[in-house]
Amino acid sequence: MQDARTVPVAGDGAGLIARTGWLLLLAMVWLTLAVPLGWLSEWDPGEMWDSDTRGLAIGTVVLGVLLVVLTARTVHRLPGSTARREIVVDGGGLLVTEHPKWWHRGGWARIGWDGVQVVNAPGPGELLELYLDREVPGLPAFAATDVAVEADTEIDGVRIPAPRLRLGEPVSREVAEAVAAWRPDLFYAGSGVDQWFTPPEAAGPRAVPLTDVAAPPEGEAAPAPPDVPRPAGPVWLEHGESWPRVLAAMVVQVAVLVGGIYLMNDPFGLPTAAAALIALVLLVPVLFCCITLPASLWLLPRFTAGVGILVSADGLELVRKRRWRPRALVRTSVSWDWVQVAVTRRAFDLATPARGRRVVDVYLHENARLPVPVPGVGADVTASRHEGPDAIGTGRLVRYPAIRLRLSYRHDLEARGRERWSAAVAGGRSPVRLPSHQLRPALLAFRPDLCHGFDDLWRAG
């Protein structure tokens, strides 16, 4: 029989140090007030409330009371910050315990396996998420749950709203390994997110075959992506800056520069003080535009270089700008013969503000003749080599080692392109020129057999 695994959890040492530091700073501020007050009044209460020292006395008393209150609070929380904490993973689930210490009573709660909906290990970083069926009473403060709603839940198979327990480094890796030893079937088995941890094929004696928690209920068909009409020629996805936007930025800089200089010369005959104040306020934007306008003119060819992605029946062509050269371009071809699969990823970088961005990961065979990293800049493309799966779902779709080509797009803008796609295809132009957020329709139009996770194409939200 497999043994339970105990994972120790470090106390809030950083928080305790921070609170102690603030207390020391507050004590120093209090001393800077108390010492002059005592020197002036010789610690005579009557002298302290004299009109000359009354303000100093009030400040000293207020800071002293605050110092006493915060010190008492810190001392009261000290046992809780240094108490022994642990998570025990066994055949029944997770036992979350905070042991009592001094006047801290501690606490414990058990999360049974039947109360866990899905376990997810989204990357990058080592965050472990446990989506629960219901609130667990008695959970210690270090394991407090939040409520997951649809807006911040990136995986399928979760009934929301749901309590969510999040564990960070270094505890998350040990807990993930322990959970995988008993219940690997609880891990999210789709391909929608990067996963820094995937359970091994052979787990403990309670292991069951991995199933796709994102699969539809029995008897229901899996959602299919929309039928995208295929254009006669290639599709050009524009990633560069548009001429109108660049020219508008130039016009604004020229207007600020010319208008600022004109107003600084006092054309309205204002009083000297007012004219000097206006000139002082306008000096900063005028100097700023004196620097940025020549730089913008010199970089104009680079701003307007034709960078993007060409999608055709032969594959992809990545057109990017060469580094340190104003307009020179570098072209990188990716044949469809190199591609294993194209997968939509919903969450790809928790450290980056979302702004509606998602990615399509195109997995290539190991022997694909693609330079890693992809040369050039401009189009939002990155390439990396992977020796093993970055998610359970991709582990079933991709043969590793593999090269992952990551293409970014704006999912929040994608829905508005459906009518434009149909009109562009019907127009018969070649190539069809579309914004970069129409990446997924372009891939689906040419190679629907390689596309996975495209069922929400052109759907708002």
What pLDDT shows up at residue 41?
67
What pLDDT shows up at residue 250?
84
CA distance 180 to 186: 8
What pLDDT shows up at residue 57?
75
pTM above 0.85, yes or no: no
* Lookup: tokens for 126: 């080592």
- pLDDT, tens only, 133-156: 999 888 888 888 888 887 777 787
What pLDDT shows up at residue 53?
67
What pLDDT shows up at residue 216?
46
CA distance 156 to 344: 13
Label residues 106-138 b or e (16+ Cβ within 10 Å = b): ebeebbebebbbbbbbbbeebbbbbbbeeebee
CA distance 379 to 382: 9
C-beta of residue 327 within 8 angstroms of C-beta of residue 365: no
All residue ranges of the chain with pLDDT < 50 are 202-220, 350-353
What pLDDT shows up at residue 415?
85
C-beta of residue 444 within 8 angstroms of C-beta of residue 454: yes
23: DSSP letter: H
CA distance 201 to 396: 12
What pLDDT shows up at residue 37?
67
C-beta of residue 111 within 8 angstroms of C-beta of residue 165: yes
CA distance 122 to 126: 7
CA distance 203 to 215: 22
